[in-house]
Structures are given as structure tokens and as C-alpha cells.
Amino acid sequence: MSKQGTYAGKKTGSRYFKESLEDYLTTVYRLQLVHGIARTTYIARALGVKPGTVTKVVQRLEKAGLVKVTKFKGIELTDRGLDIARKIIRKHRILEVFLSEYLGFDPLKSHELAHKMEHLPEEVIEAIYERMGRPKVCPHGNPIEPEDPRKIHIAGVKLFNAKKGHKYRVLRSLIWCIRRDERSVLGQKLKYGVIVEIVDIDKNSIKIIIDGQEIQVPRDDAELVIVEEIT
């Protein structure tokens, strides 16, 4: 018989259950980072589950004191929930660096594998972190030490607010925070350090050139990429 684990003072029955709840906490964190708050529909879309499932899990998390739900507004992490989420996000970003820069996996595979590995013991993650020389950012430009999403100030401008005819360097991509379907395309192209040239902008999208290839980026995604102008 497997040993029962505990989470928020309750028996979970399996490590998978605990990890599933932690996935919800990190998703709320990422949505807060992008939107300032998480909504049930946002969480469902990010995790690929039904809104009804999200509602049930969020109720558990709220009862455990890990999230705060405000009617007609959304879901936010409590201080305790934020502490858990930031620790897991930090592990994830360290592992992404290791998988991409040291083992040669592409950004998409690194992200997927890091998600599976982020629940490894902290001593293992810290050993990897120290061996790599304590990197400061992940492959997408996000800091290894996750910010408090309630106090964040991101330098640079959103790609959608860039100027036509100008060139920019990608500082940070938040597409990986909340997108599932576009990760394999835009998430890999709009990565940290890439140079983009702005060809055209309309109210729904922006046309850019990366490595000689012209790409149309939907506004929703262009809002998730932070860039700086280069001369």
C-alpha cells in the first residue's frame, strides 16, 4: 500500500494529487503575472480542463488558505499560496536552462520536461543551479527568482506597442505562461535575445520579420512579448 501524503493538512492519497494542486497554484501565479488576476476560464484554458473542474479545485485551494476568490473579479494567491508557487516556478526556470542550454532540448521540449521535473527534491534542483553558475534568467528571459506579481514592473515595451520600421530585441516572453496551442510556433520563435523588425501593425495583429522570415503575430500574443528597441 502506498504511503498517504498530506497537503494543506489533508490526506491526498497520492503525490499526483499534490502536484496537481501545485499546478493550479503556478497557473494562478502566471495569470496574475500577465493579467493581474486569474479567472476560471483563463485557468481552464491554460490547463486544458473544464471550467467546472477548475471551480472545484479552486474551492479546495481557497479552503486551504492558498487562494482568495473575489466575486465578479477573480482568483488571487494568498501569501502562503504565492510562496509555494514561486518556489515551483523557480525550479521550473532552473530546469529549463539546464535542459535547453546544457542538454540541447528545444524551448518547447525543455518547457514540457521541466514541468514534469519541477517536483524533484529541492536539493537536486539547487545542485543543478549551482553547477550551472547560478543563471539569472530562463530561456524566455524570465528571472530565475520569480517576482511578486502584485508588485511587478517589467522594463521594456510590449511588442504590440513597438514602432513600424524599427528593430527590437526580445527581453522576455510571457507566451509560455498561459498559452498551450501556440507554444510550439510563436513561443519558440519569439524567444529571449531574438531580433525582430516591425513591418506593419493593425488593431488585431502585428507583422514582424525574424531571421528573414515574415510572421503575423496576433495582438493577444504580441501583448505577451516584452522588447527593447535597438539602434
Cα–Cα dist 80/67, whole Å: 8
Q: What is the pLDDT of residues 43-99, one digit of tens each?
A: 998 888 999 999 999 999 999 999 999 988 999 999 999 999 999 999 999 999 999
Q: Express each pLDDT in 87-125 by its tens digit.
A: 999 999 999 999 999 999 987 788 889 988 988 899 999
Over residues 134-154, the mean pLDDT reads: 87
Per domain, the residue ranges of the chain are 6-77, 157-230
CATH number, span 6-77: 1.10.10.10
Task: Report the CATH fold assignment for 157-230.
Answer: SH3 type barrels. (2.30.30)
pLDDT score, position 9? 39
Q: According to DSSP H, which parts of the chain are helical?
A: 15-35, 40-47, 51-63, 79-97, 107-117, 122-131, 175-178, 188-189, 219-222
Model pTM score: 0.78
The string of pLDDT tens digits covering residues 147-175 is 898 887 777 888 989 999 999 999 888 77
